[in-house]
């Protein structure tokens, strides 16, 4: 795994955002279900870098199934190496039992309340609750053997950037001692939250503000869970990867079509995946890649796993 301790010099960027994670996944689900019967793109991606091992994971909501054990078995059968849960929102003892039964680990969690209860809120009571939820997610993640908590750090609707930026940093910083003690990384995701980018801006924005935001914490337990598809609408993922460098501790992966201005299946989009793969090689990234697209049954999940392999030229060999 990479860690954000080896800081790179900041690059250039602007300010921006979109629909919530839940809305985005809902749209993605509709697109994915429509595309699930389609073959992979006819023309294979021509990668210039050799196949390498990365570990595939996925969001728990993508797995159609009953209890934890059934979900974990399906994910494992489909070719995933782990699963991400939502926290707060589960009983650790029940999850540990499913891990023991299936052998599939929980690699991390997604902070389940970060869209509604924000670290950028002008309401001090809401910020206190956001901090409490983040600390609980860190503890829950540690309790089931995970190592990251994905976090949306705030939303632009909470105020002007000059106000919400320091508000978010001050609030999230208070969770660092808990994260450091338990060995869990707070993994900031680039999302359509109208913060740290210009939501009404061009498609050639840079990652400069994300670089600056992460560096402000000056901590090895704060990094980026870079979502490859989220900001294809606003910038070049390969350039963002190089700019963020070892701040990237984990990846999220989804497809997005600039031509159609909407989410798409991975490899059924117009993202330049060979360039993304080259950029990941350039920063020597090896670690977890989390799918965030429309899920479904075993057949659908196997397709998603195969699409990730094709997009990033992954190898099954450790």
Domain-embedded: residue 103: yes
Tens digits of per-residue pLDDT, 76-128?
999 999 999 999 999 999 999 999 999 999 999 999 999 999 999 999 999 99
The token pair at 159 is 């105020």
Q: Across-strand partners of 13?
A: 207
Please name the residue that has the structure tokens 């595309």: 35
Domain-embedded: residue 74: yes
Of 2, 41, 15, 17, nearest to 264 by C-alpha is 41
CB 210 within 8 A of CB 196: yes
Cis peptide before 296 (omega within 30 of 0): no
Where is pLDDT greater, at 178 or 3? Answer: 178
Structural domain of 189: 21-36+49-248+255-310
Domain-embedded: residue 11: no
**Quick check: 181 pLDDT over 60?**
yes
User: How confident is the prediction for the chain on average, in pLDDT?
Assistant: 89
Q: Check which CATH number belongs to the domain holding 27 and give it.
A: 3.20.20.150
Domain-embedded: residue 43: no
Buried b (16+ CB within 10 A) or exposed e, 30-56: ebbeebbeeebeeeebebeeeeeebbb
pTM listed for this prediction:
0.86
pLDDT band at 316 (very low <50, low <70, confident <90, very high): confident
Distance CA 300, CA 295 (A): 6
Domain-embedded: residue 9: no
Domain-embedded: residue 13: no
Give the chain's radius of gyration (CA, Å): 18
Domain-embedded: residue 180: yes
Total structural domains within the chain: 1
Domain-embedded: residue 4: no
């Amino acid at each position: 795994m990479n860690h954000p301790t080896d800081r790179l010099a900041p690059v250039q960027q602007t300010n921006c955002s979109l629909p919530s994670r839940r809305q985005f996944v809902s749209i993605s689900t509709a697109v994915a279900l429509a595309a699930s019967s389609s073959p992979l793109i006819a023309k294979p991606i021509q990668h210039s870098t050799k196949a390498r091992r990365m570990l595939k994971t996925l969001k728990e909501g993508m797995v159609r199934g009953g209890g934890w054990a059934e979900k974990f078995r399906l994910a494992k059968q489909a070719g995933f190496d782990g699963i991400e849960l939502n926290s707060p929102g589960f009983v650790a003892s029940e999850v540990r039992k499913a891990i023991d039964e299936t052998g599939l680990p929980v690699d991390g969690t997604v902070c389940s309340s970060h869209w509604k209860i924000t670290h950028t809120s002008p309401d001090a009571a809401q910020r206190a609750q956001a901090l409490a939820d983040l600390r609980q997610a860190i503890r829950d993640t540690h309790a089931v053997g995970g190592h990251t908590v994905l976090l949306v750090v705030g939303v632009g609707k909470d105020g002007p950037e000059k106000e919400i930026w320091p508000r978010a940093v001050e609030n999230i910083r208070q969770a660092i001692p808990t994260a450091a003690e338990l060995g869990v990384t707070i993994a900031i995701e680039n999302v359509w939250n109208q913060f740290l980018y210009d939501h009404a801006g061009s498609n050639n924005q840079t990652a400069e503000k994300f670089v600056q935001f992460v560096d402000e914490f000056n901590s090895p337990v704060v990094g980026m869970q870079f979502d490859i598809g989220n900001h294809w609408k606003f910038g070049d993922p390969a350039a963002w990867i190089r700019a963020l460098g070892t701040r990237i501790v984990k990846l999220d992966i989804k497809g997005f079509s600039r031509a159609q201005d909407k989410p798409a299946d991975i490899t059924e989009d117009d993202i330049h995946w060979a360039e993304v793969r080259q950029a990941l090689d350039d920063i020597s990234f090896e670690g977890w890649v989390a799918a965030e697209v429309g899920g479904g049954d075993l057949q659908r999940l196997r397709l998603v796993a195969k699409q990730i392999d094709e997009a990033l030229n992954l190898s099954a060999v450790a």
